Structure formats: C-alpha cells, structure tokens
Structure 1
Amino acid sequence: MEIALGILYVIVGGTTLLLVLLHSGRGGGLSDMFGGGMSGVAAGSTSVERNLDRLTVLFSLIFGFLTLLLAFVLDNA
C-alpha cells in the first residue's frame, strides 16, 4: 500500500507542478507557449483559465490529502 501511495503521490505532485507552471503570471509563463497569451484575441480563453484554476486547486487539495494520508500510513507501518 505504501508503494502505491508513493507512486500516486509523485504523479499528483508532478501534475500539480505542471498545472502551476501553465498559469500565466506577470511575465506570461509557460501558458504563452500553448496559446494562453492570446487572452485578448481568442474568445473563450477565460473559461480555459477558469478550468485551469479549478484543476490546480483540485490537484493541490488531493496532494495535501495524500501528504497527510501517506504520513499516517507510514507512521503506523
């Protein structure tokens, strides 16, 4: 069980990292490379940003939950 949780933890952590990097910050970020910098031109990009925000929050919550779960499981092992 510890191995499966560890693998899931790494996958969720990596996905969270990628989602955070896709956000456009002050300088644009990596999302400019994938069309995120065209927010004024392309209609519907606000929904893409909103969905990206939702996914980032979801994966961050899952990452936090897995951190606590993994600590609990490893402490009782």
Structure 2
Amino acid sequence: MNPLLIILLILLMVSGLGLIVFILLHSGKGTGVSDMIASAVYSSQSGTSIVEKNLDRITIGLAVVFMLCLVALMLVYPQGVINR
C-alpha cells in the first residue's frame, strides 16, 4: 500500500471516530435526559458555556479534516481501485 493512502485512511478513521464522540458530547437543546445532565454539569443559565464553544471548535475542526481526507482520497484514487 502507498504511504499516502495509509496516512489518509488513518486520518479519515481518527477524524470519523472523533466526530462521533464529540457530537455525542454536545448537550441537547430539548427537555430530555441529556439536557438535564448538561444543566447539572455546566450550570450555565444563559448562552453557551466555554465548554460548549470548545466542543463546537473541535467538532468543526474534525469535520474539516474528515472532508479534506475524503476529497484527497477521491483525487488520489478516482476509480476507487487500490492496486497492491
């Protein structure tokens, strides 16, 4: 396998798993269980807390890395065939 392919696939998997984790860490906006837990932990009464802003930044960064890896894989391997 090509070293570029290995690097792109590792980045794609790490950013994908990171996206799953950080999206699940966001607090809910409704009146469900996640909202009760988030209000007890963060105890913020108005606006978003610093923790939420950092979660947003990390999530956006991981999404950008994920999309760039997908585009790079499409450019490097346009037909989806990986020769060994």
| TM-score, normalising length: structure 2 | 0.69
Q: Which amino acid aligns with 1:74?
A: Y
Residue 62 (structure 2) pairs with residue 75 (structure 1): no
Q: Which amino acid aligns with 1:20?
A: I
Q: Which runs of 5+ in 1 are unaligned?
A: none
Task: Let me know the Cα RMSD of the aligned residues.
Answer: 2.2
> Number of matched residues?
69
| TM-score, normalising length: structure 1 | 0.74
Distance, in Å, in 1 between the alignment partners of 2:59 and 2:76 is 25
C-alpha offsets along residues 15-54 of structure 1, whole Å, 9 cap, x if unaligned?
Answer: 011110100113317xx4xxx442226xxx8101111111
Alignment of 1:4-43 (within 5 A): 4-25=7-28, 26=30, 27=32, 28=34, 32=37, 36-37=38-39, 38-40=41-43
* Equivalent residue, structure 1, for 2:61: 58
Distance, in Å, in 1 between the alignment partners of 2:61 and 2:11 is 15
* Equivalent residue, structure 1, for 2:49: 46
Distance, in Å, in 2 between the alignment partners of 1:55 and 1:75 is 29
